[in-house]
Structure 1
């Protein structure tokens, strides 16, 4: 005896609605993706001022000051923007044996410091021989 078996319906997945969902996800990911851009960075390894060896100097030296706004002056002569290298070359020519000190303001930017170091190198100074003013934590003045 054979029993009646109703035909099973093939379940179909509605492709159209899945395509809509995939398009929405694709648009979302395209809009929310942040593309990585290559950028120039400078790798600087700084020691803490407590760990650095400091020196007490008595001999006079010319002072290159850097203000918080990036303005520079060499021995109280303001250096116009873009003329730092020319000033340093002239100073080096006129005073070949005179020492140079860099005195940055507490809020001077790293960009201005790197600009000064680059100009010092191009002007013929050894950056390691140029002294930098630094206030050691715990010291007065």
Structure 2
């Protein structure tokens, strides 16, 4: 009668094969990952001409219409009421015919306010499709 329990064999984990698998996975991930490349742009100094559109480039300027998270409207950094926006933009257009507009709106700006701003700009004589728009995130 044998009273001693039998010794169970200790299971062995084949580490060498796991290391091989990890190396293969590492090579796979490195080979398939797309790394973000910095886009280096060439620095070019463009020639200037006194007769070919130099005045047009000077007369073209951009004015920002901004809408913040509280639905306040700013024209070139100055607060403006929505009802007076069309008149203010029309006055600026008379003073500077080459004036271009851009809109900067907060992500929480109401769609109704944006539509009213676009309506005011149409009344002032601006084509909305020519106006670039940026949606900005609210500051944390």
- Structure-2-length-normalised TM-score: 0.51
Aligned mates of 2:81, 2:93 — CA distance in 1: 18
Aligned mates of 2:98, 2:73 — CA distance in 1: 22
Give the alignment's Cα RMSD to 1 decimal: 1.7
Aligned mates of 1:129, 1:69 — CA distance in 2: 26
Helix, strand or coil at the partner of 2:83: coil
Aligned mates of 2:82, 2:118 — CA distance in 1: 15
More helix per residue: 1 or 2?
2
Aligned mates of 2:94, 2:109 — CA distance in 1: 28
- Structure-1-length-normalised TM-score: 0.50
More strand per residue: 1 or 2?
2
Aligned mates of 1:99, 1:117 — CA distance in 2: 14
Segments of 5+ residues of structure 1 without an aligned counterpart are 1-58, 136-141
Instruction: Quote the residue 2:116 is aligned against.
Output: 115
Residue 134 of structure 1 and its aligned partner are, at CA, apart by 3.6
Instruction: Quote the residue 1:83 is aligned against.
Output: 84
Residue 81 of structure 1 and its aligned partner are, at CA, apart by 4.2
* Structure 2 contact 82–117 (Cα < 8 Å) conserved: no
Runs of 4+ in 1 over 6 A off after TM superposition: none
Residue 75 of structure 1 and its aligned partner are, at CA, apart by 0.8
Instruction: Figure out how many residues of one structure are paired with residues of the other and give that number.
Output: 77
Instruction: Quote the residue 2:130 is aligned against.
Output: 129
Segments of 5+ residues of structure 2 without an aligned counterpart are 1-59
Q: Deviations over 1:85-124 (max 9, x none)?
A: 1111111111210211000111100011000110111100
